[in-house]
Amino acid sequence: MAELVTTAAKLDAWRATIPGKRVAFVPTMGALHEGHIRLVERAAEIADAVVVSIFVNPTQFGKGEDFERYPRTLENDLALLGDLADVVYAPSVEDVYPPDDPPVVTSAGPAGAGFEGASRPGHFDGMLTVVNRLFDIVRPDVAVFGQKDAQQVFLVKRLAAERGSPEIDVVRTVREDDGLARSSRNRYLSAEDRAAAVAVPAAVWAVARDIEAGVSAALASGRAVLASQPLARLDYLELVSPTDFTPVGEDFHGVATLVVAARFGNTRLLDTETITVP
């Protein structure tokens, strides 16, 4: 079983027992599922020791978002992790944000304003602030993130480049048998919405299939898939440049990132895929 520590001081003490070891870090908000386990397995492959954090970060939730409702399942999470991780850091809000040591608020800037940032104002500032703080506490050599949250990955890579550490390792999205990307939020879907949600990966596949016809045609195909599903409300479906996360035009050639968000009931689902535009 992984060692459970609840304070940065105890994590420091553990850190001092493994001098010279390469440490991989998987930050999470708990409610772990197979997708997280893949990240932890990857972390174990690329380092000598693995730290997983479980912290529902209040600063990345906006007013009326699901902070209170966010599942807190520490016992299940620990059982699921087994001994895949060496340490689980599950701190209190005060441990991460001590009142006498306010965090450096990290701004996501324009790259955090569109897409997820547009429907969740301030979300990426809060996410970067906690990730920066957790990097300071854990001091990992490498941190592992899931590809599904493409905008988060883009912003965290930029943060790590600015700080000069850690390395960022990105793990491909884990999907259910019907293609739906694994997410803690899938559990909020009604049975009807869950069945309809297969339209999200279907839209991704439609873009990949039709990209030969050009950016606009491929995006139109993807959007049409979601438009034909009455339970889906499309938020965005765009191809963005991996260098600045802005939408690419018809003249773009090379590797782009497809980002999709759609609502089913009150649940927002995200998906992403790397698409080569010929």
Question: Which residues contribute to the site for ligand PAF (CB under 6 A)?
Answer: 27-29, 57, 60, 127, 130-131, 149, 152
Query: Catalytic site residue 123?
Result: no
CB of 147 to ligand PAF, least distance (A): 11
CB of 36 to ligand PAF, least distance (A): 9
Cβ closer to ligand PAF: 55 or 226? 55
Cα angle value 85/184/266 (rounded, 5°): 165
CA distance 227 to 268: 16
Cα angle value 98/103/107 (rounded, 5°): 155
CA distance 270 to 100: 37
Burial class of 112 by CB neighbour count within 10 A (0 to 12, 13 to 18, 19+): buried
CA distance 234 to 49: 41
Catalytic residue among 33, 36, 123, 253: 36
CB of 166 to ligand PAF, least distance (A): 13
CB of 208 to ligand PAF, least distance (A): 25
Nearest Cα neighbor of 238 from 207, 214, 267, 266 is 207
Question: Catalytic site residues?
Answer: 36
